[in-house]
Amino acid sequence: MKAYVFPGQASQFEGMGKDMYEASSLVRELFDQANEILGFSITDIMFEGSAEDLKQTKVTQPAVFLHSIAKAKTQADDFHPDAVAGHSLGEFSALVAAGALTFEDGLKLVQQRAMAMQKACEARPGTMAAILGMEDAEVEAVCKEIDEIVIPANYNCPGQLVISGTVEGINRAVEILQEKGARRAIVLPVGGAFHSPLMQPAQEELEKAIAATPFQAPTCPIYQNVNALPQTDPEKIQENLIAQLTAPVRWTQTMLNMIENGVSEFVEVGGNGKTLQGFVKKVDRRFPTRAL
């Protein structure tokens, strides 16, 4: 069984998509359509923008989504996943690739998600930190001790857990975790406390948009971030997608569940093609991985 997995923010790179745009009329049509839907030329930023330009949330999220969908569509008849999953933002790419959402609706939701998250970040600043070389349970215990909002946000792979919360809380957690033996505890250069209760205003805003968007049954199960379980029911998919903004991304558990259910190969679709392959290898080195 083959699983296609889709990356989220931080997988962007300068010049992303330009080679595909120049080589494929299908991709040109897709990218031109995206410019029209978004109301600005995202292709100009993707092709010519600096790393700093690409870091803007309103640019990063649609850019990574668009890049992933273009990669999937260029496979044409060879794109036959037995399962899909996406890391955070990548869940929207996975849903479009598996036919649960149209490209147009997926891109509109991604744009609304980016803007809602940006507003939430400005209303209440927060940050995130990557904790390396500790057991998840140890990190979870420290988060509970701190008298601030600090929660596990991304269970990326064994030995790598990203925490999210208030600036004060994250700084305190980093100090404690370093004292307790974390190999590394690094505050990340992000704009806010993603996948934490600080994203509640964004979740409320996005809930209305998701509820108003038609979803279909996907062509294969999608393993969703909030519970790491396979889903094909459109209503449940919507519910889980709404919950995603304030809930942890259970990526380690997703990979383990996919393997347990028979997945034997992972294909990373979009972005720099390295991030999710790396996580798979940390879960179990025996499984072949590749990038489109």
DSSP 249: B
In the block, residue with structure tokens 């359509």: 33
- Checking phi first, is residue 264 left (phi over 0); if not, alpha (psi -120 to 50) or beta? alpha
Name, in order, each residue with C-beta under 8 angstroms of 203's C-beta and a sequence gap of 6 or more. 242, 243, 245, 246
CA dist 64 and 61 (Å) reads 5
195 is catalytic: yes
Question: Exactly one of 11, 68, 88, 164 is catalytic; which is it?
Answer: 88
Question: Exactly one of 87, 93, 195, 196 is catalytic; which is it?
Answer: 195
CA dist 241 and 238 (Å) reads 5
Return the closest-CA partner of residue 151 out of 118, 197, 201, 82.
197
88 is catalytic: yes
Q: Which amino acid is at 116?
A: A
- Checking phi first, is residue 204 left (phi over 0); if not, alpha (psi -120 to 50) or beta? alpha
Q: What is the CA radius of gyration of the chain?
A: 18
Instruction: Give the torsion sign (CA, 216, 119, 244, 98).
Output: positive
- By annotation, the residues acting in catalysis are 88, 195
